[in-house]
Every structure is written in C-alpha cells, then in structure tokens.
Amino acid sequence: MNVEITRLSSGLTVVTETMPHLESVALGVWIKSGSRNETQDEHGIAHLLEHMAFKGTKRRSARDIAEEIENVGGELNAATSTETTSYYARVLKDHVPLAVDILADILTESAFDEEELRREKHVILQEIGAANDTPDDVIFDRFSEVAFRGQTIGRPILGTPETVNGFTPGQIRNYLSRNYTTDRMFVVAAGAVDHASFCRQVEERFATLPMTPSAPPVMETARYLGGEVREERDLMDAQVLIGFEGKAYHMRDFYCSQILANILGGGMSSRLFQEVREHRGLCYSVYAFHWGFSDTGIFGIHAATGGDDLPKLMPVVIDELHKASETIHQQEIDRARAQIRAQLLMGQESPAARAGQIARQMMLYGRPIPNPEMMERLEGITTERLTDLAGRLFFDTVPTLSAVGPIEQLAPMADIAAALSSPNVQTKKAAG
C-alpha cells in the first residue's frame, strides 16, 4: 500500500493512497458521527445537516457549489449513516485544490439560510415519503426500531416529518459544533494525489475547524432487545427479515460472522440461495448479512416471496440455520474467503472504493489494514468456530422479526421462536 498518514497540528488526520496510473482523485471528509450522535430531540438532524451543507456558504450559493464542481467534470456527494457522515468528491488530478476548497467551504462556512432550510425540509419530507412507500426500506427501518426499541440506534436516519419540520438553524449549528471537530474527522484521498501537497491544501483550507467540541459528543450504549413487528400491506410480495444480535467491529467473532453470513446467503452458491430459491423455488430473493457497529451488530436473513409461500419458506430458512450450527464444510470457508479477497482486490482498482475503505478503517481501527493482514485474520476461522458461532447466534439470543406485505400466512412469533429455541427443536413448528 502506498498509504501515507499525517496528523496536522489542528488534530485533523489526513490520509492518502497514491495510485500513479490514474488521472483522477477520489477525496472526501469522513466524520465519526452519524444518527447515533443525535440527542432525543434531534432525530434526523444529522441527515438534514448533510443536505444543508450543499445549500450555500458565505462565498458560494447552492448553484455555485454545483456549477463549480461540474464545470470541471467533477462529482460531489454526501451520505449519512448510523455512526458516520461523509462528504466526497471525484475530480481529475488538476482540480484537487478546487475540490478541497469546496469541501472545506461547505463544512466550515455553511450559511444555513432560513429559506434554503425551508426548501430542503420539503425535499427531505418527500424522501421520507418515498422511503415509506418502498417495502425494501420499510422492513429494515422497522427491524431496527424493534431490535433496539426506544434507542437512538434504532431510529430511522431520515427522522420523521414532525422532527424535521421543527429544526432551526441554531439546532443544526449546535449539532455541528458538537460533532464536526478535528479529533473526529478524517480527510482521505486516493488516486493521482501527492501527499505533501494535499496536506498543505487541507491544512490551509480546514484551519478554522474546531479542535474540541462545544459539548461532549452524545452516543448511548446500544441494548439489543429483539421482538417483532408486522405490517399488513396490499403488495404483490411479502418482505420478511429475521435477525439476531451480531458482533461489534472489535469483537473476536466479527470476521467469523462475516464468513458465516457469506456461507449462508452471500451469493448464488450460498446455502439459502441454493436451497430456498434454486431447489424449492420459494422466493425470488434471499440473502444473509452481518452489520457491525461500534458496540453491537446485526445478523439477518432477508427474503422476498409471495404470501402463499410463507408457510413453507420460514421452516426451510430456520432449518438452514440449524444445519449451520451442526456442519460447515471447509470448501465453503475457502469460497467465502476467496470472495472477500476478490472484493478487497477489486476495491483497490477504484479510487472511490479505496478512499472509503481507508476512511472506515481509520475511524474503526485508527489505521489502514493491509489486505494481507485482513486475509490473515480470516485464515484462523475454522469449521468448529463457525458452527459454535452459529449455535450461539441463532439459538442463544432473542430473534427479531420484521415483515411487510401480504403476511397473514406467516407463522406466529411464538412458533418461530420455539423453532429457534434449541438446535434440537424440530423446525416444523415454525409452519404454524
């Protein structure tokens, strides 16, 4: 890796990876702050701030920001997640100073104009409405809400119409001053970038960022609770998501959980895809995933199917969970490792993917993780570790069930929980 790291006198961390064969640079600012860092009365403000950053500064109007980056063929965007927020650009190498200037401008000199705020609230209300009309989005939001009931981590990132409509420029500035400080921010670039030159540009343009927050950052400890939520809708298909408490990034079983998710439902060769879709034809989509957070995680299985197939689908899915706790084959581990290795290497061919990967590793581990080291962590995963993990994940924790659509034939939660209560319980109970 041609990765260089510099911590500026302001406390801001700058990281670059030089990819000299490229003509472009992907660069951005990643903040170790997201929707989990909102207070109880700030639901949705992290996402609103991300939008408002593009709506004008002391030097640029919203149109100026868009035109200046696009006049040179560049791109500019942002994203808010549960624990992070990012603002990023992609430009040709000659236009890196412009991209740095724009990113610094929107993060240090945003105007938060009242009229722009009013318009952007309306845009976000439409975004919330669109998400509520999309079953794929609804099922994950409902899942998080019940898995982490009454907690910030379980709330939808977008907020609600009531909370979004109530925000003022002062509240946005309070969130900004509490979370957008140099000790929580990383400026990362990958591509045709010179580290020393990039550091000088960042140091000059980001000099006004505060080093310490106006108040201590907020983030309550997550408590996974589990439970169920069902929403009958007149839809063509039923969306079902069943999940369990996963592993945090720093836990020993994190990478083991990633491998297990891959084996169960990580592709067309996975157990769930082959058994549920290919062999039985019970759904058109089924996959497993594992999300890690700083202090918890989620391991889930998502399926989309016709409502009439639900009585057959759930027992088959649960049966595959039982089988995973009994037997994992070495060739499955090898295939999962090969897929992860390919993803890592393919990601190195994209400066945007590489910048994002480096930023995440800096926020989580304090340093970039070389690919050989990443693969070495996966080498220690054995069939015994995986079956032991599957037993603990699926049968020792309270499940969470989220279902949307024509779900009247979905078995009661008590029957599903009974089928998951022990590896020795017959899964036919889940048929209802």
Strands 75-80 and 227-232 come out as unpaired
Q: How far is CA 432 from CA 272, 276, 332, 421, in A?
A: 21, 19, 32, 16
Q: Which of 112, 114, 123, 101 is nearest to 57 (CA)?
A: 112
- For the CA atoms of 316, 320, 321, 323, what is the dihedral angle to 10 degrees? 130
Q: Which of 124, 120, 72, 121 is nearest to 94 (CA)?
A: 72
Q: In angstroms, how far is CA 84 from the centroid of its own chain?
A: 9
Strands 238-245 and 400-405 come out as antiparallel
Q: What is the H or E stretch that residue 201 is in?
A: helix 195-205
DSSP conformation letters of 249-292: TTSTTHHHHHHHHHHHHSSTTSHHIIIIIIIT---SEEEEEEEE
Rounded Cα distance, 353 and 221, in Å: 30
Helices (H), 72-168: 96-108, 114-132, 135-147, 161-166
Q: In angstroms, how far is CA 131 from the centroid of its own chain?
A: 16
Residue with tokens 């063929």: 73
Q: What SS3 class is residue 396?
A: coil
Give buried/exposed letters for 229-249 (b at 16+ CB in 10 A, else e): beeeeeeebbbbbbbbbbbbb
Structure tokens at 119: 């318009």
116 flagged as catalytic: no
Structure tokens at 9: 């006198």
Angle between helices 383-395 and 310-326 (to 10 degrees): 140
**Residue 391 contacts by C-beta under 8 Å, 6 or more apart in sequence?**
325, 423
Q: How many residues does the chain have?
A: 432
Q: What SS3 class is residue 313?
A: helix
Largest CA distance in the chain: 67
Catalytic residue among 17, 38, 42, 50: 50
User: Catalytic site residues?
Assistant: 50
